[in-house]
Amino acid sequence: MPPKKHIIKPNSAPIRPVQGKTVPQVRKAQARMKQDSQAMGRGKRRYLMPSLIVLLCFVLYGNTISNNYALDDDIYTRRNVYVQEGFSHVADIFDKGSLYGFNKVGEQQYRPVALLDFMTEVQIFGLNPHVSHFFNVLFFALACAALYLLLRRLFYNRNKAIAAAIALLYLFHPIHTEVVANIKSRDEILGFLFGILSLLLLMKHEEKSGGKRNYYFWSLAAFALSGFSKENYLTFAVIAPLMLYYFTGKDLKRCLRLGLPYFGIVLFYLLVRGGVLTNNTISGRLDIINNSLMAAKSTAGQLATEFLMLGKYIVLLLAPYPLSYDYSYNQIPIVSFADWRALGSLILYLGLGAYALWSFRKKPVYGFAIIYFFISMFLTSNLVVKIGSSFGERFLFAPSLGYCMALPFLFTAMFRINPFEMKWVRKNYFYAATGAVLIAYAAITIPRNRDWKDNYTLFTADITHAANSARAHEALASEYRVQAENETNPQQKGRWFELSIGEFHKALAIYPDADTYYNLGVSYYEAGMPDSALGVYLKALEVNPAYTMTYNNIGVIYFNRRLYDQAIGYFEKYYQADTTNMQALMNIGAAYQNEGNGTKAMEYYNMVLKRDPNNAGVLANIAKMKQKP
């Protein structure tokens, strides 16, 4: 393999000779870079590859546009009051947490730009899942086109096929299906789009140094939009100066100085977030069902499992099949470093980190790809800060670019191609290898998109790949119950309930929690088996006495049995847990009414009417009492 050419890009620093090259040679290289940059900026050809990328994105992901809502899409759409009611709540999405419009809890997430985007979409088009999916695909297409333009500048002195291959590999990689096909993940797409635009504008600033257009300011603005779309992309504050160091020939100190304002924006975001959210961290100890790392009995076991998961991320990048929307407890069990997978992953990451540090001054592409991967994975790795999920394919959305960046250079090394040559002798080998990977990726991506059609298709498709996940079984059980509730044929309705109950039992066999017992009770009750429902409701209270909704459902069972005293006892427990709960007051009043104690019934009805004078249910019950002789 021929020696690497050291080429200095034009900037404000004086031109100096590079060892093994003369000043005229360096000037010639700089002139080529300038001409290449100008060629990208003028004429119709500059639109060709970005337009092709946008077109291919719609070919790959166009079948998601016919999909409906799935998984957690409702958080930012149908069940988010602020998004539904439009621009009247613009101030609210900036001074409250991003989940407040969904659950009235201002904790953990602050992503106002993503919410503003959904709000604008709903204001113009209304609530329409197909419109939402279209914009997910469009924004992803624009992000990949911007990525290509960035790569052309980073690899200006390499063959143009390098930048195209990286951008296409990123576009086609199946690991991105969860983000693109999941409407709620618009925050991830916008974060990446603005993050890439920020890096692109920063590179244009370096090219136009001393010019009239202030690309640096716009780069900072794009970075701010990226962070306020999703906090993961605040890590681009570290990536930006490193990118300059690796690809512009500037010394590290100068690059870090240019990066300081990006860290200022990070600080600004943290200050705003801290002033808005009622709790900047996950409340209390994380639930095992959400972050399975909490099941570890020791710090060593937790660390070993973290590296096992980090190793699985590498596996998914290399072989993205099968894919799953859920990896929660106990899909990836807790292990120790006696497990060769955990130990092997640790050794691999240490080796990659050592190479990146050892080669830092030499600035190889592999080194930058590794550092980029590490930095972009930092916030979701669970190594330093534990988050609300232990593992997810969406966490690879940005980091996967590091893998896609390294792969074409591996191909050039395999086929002994000099990436610096503008005309390749063995180009067909490179094109064939890249094309084969793209075809394989497309064969996985396009069918996978169809799995995200709705909850039923997603949950039924993935249960075979998430057979050890309690949450996956519970989700499927709940969806079977929805099918039963919408079914008119009595026999088929019973079959749906049977499937629902069976899946809930599978979930409980993996992790017996109160929520699953409660939902199993609902399925039993709706299937006409109140005795079984009562048993699992009591089990839910045994697991978690604070699961207060269960008191109401037990009360309803006793109410239907005309055991009003027992029913009142449970309704009162329900009310004591939440004294603002008018449903509990209504149920107590109804129990007294059916028991024949109109005075006590009116006492509770009046408590409801004092808070809600037009409560239709209470007024109807009072009317019935007056009709009795």
Q: How many CB atoms lie within 10 A of CB 105?
A: 15
- Prediction pTM value: 0.90
Rounded CA-CA distance 283/553 in Å is 28
Beta bridge partners of 279: 107
Rounded CA-CA distance 601/543 in Å is 33
- Say which DSSP state 208 is in: T
Provide the pLDDT for residue 624. Answer: 85
d(CA 331, CA 33): 50
The 10s digit of each residue's pLDDT in 322-363 is: 999 999 999 999 999 999 999 999 999 999 999 999 999 999
The pLDDT score that the predictor gives to residue 26 is 38
From CA 428, how far away is CA 139, in angstroms rounded? 32
State pLDDT tens for residues 359-410: 999 999 999 999 999 999 999 999 998 998 999 999 999 999 999 999 999 9
Helix (H, G, I), strand (E, B) or coil at 144: helix
Q: Which stretches of the chain score pLDDT less than 50?
A: 1-31, 33, 41, 211-212, 282-284
The single residue listed with the structure tokens 């992000």 is 143
Contact 190, 230 (CB under 8 A): yes
Alpha-carbon distance of 435 to 422, in angstroms, equals 20
Task: Give dist(CA 190, CA 227) in Å, integer.
Answer: 9
Beta strands in 396-461 (DSSP E): none
Q: What is the mean pLDDT of the chain?
A: 90
Cis peptide before 613 (omega within 30 of 0): no
Do residues 155 and 248 lie in contact, with contact meaning Cβ atoms separated by under 8 Å?
no
* Structure letter (DSSP) for residue 263: H
Token code pair at residue 426: 């063995």
CA separation for the pair 28, 40 (Å, rounded): 18
As given in the structure block, the two tokens for residue 431 are 């094109």
**Which candidate, 503, 508, 505, places its Cα nearest to that of 484?**
503
The most distant pair of C-alpha atoms in the chain lies apart, rounded to whole Å, by 111
- Give the single-character DSSP code of 111: -
Query: Which residues make Cβ contacts (< 8 Å) with residue 280, sequence separation at least 6?
Result: 108, 273, 274
The closest of 139, 42, 133, 165 to 430, measured between CA atoms, is 165
CA distances from 448 to 136, 176, 185, 331, 466 (A): 16, 10, 16, 20, 15
Q: Are 325 and 458 in contact (CB under 8 A)?
A: yes
For the packed helices 530-543 and 514-526, what is the interaxial angle rounded to 10 degrees? 170
**C-alpha dist (Å) from residue 522 to 473, 594, 612:** 16, 24, 28
Inter-residue contact 93 to 37 (CB < 8 Å):
no
| pLDDT for residue 625 | 84
Domain ranges of the chain: 45-449, 562-629
Residue type, 41: G
Which CATH number applies to 562-629?
1.25.40.10
Start-to-end CA distance of the chain, whole Å, equals 102
Q: Are residues 601 and 625 in contact, defined by beta-carbon separation less than 8 angstroms?
A: yes
Who contacts 327 (Cβ-Cβ below 8 Å, separation ≥6)?
A: 390, 391, 392, 466, 469
Which tokens in the block code for residue 48? 């060709």
Instruction: Work out the burial of residue 615: count CB atoms within 10 Å of its CB; fewer than 13 is exposed, 13-18 middle, 19 or more buried.
Output: middle
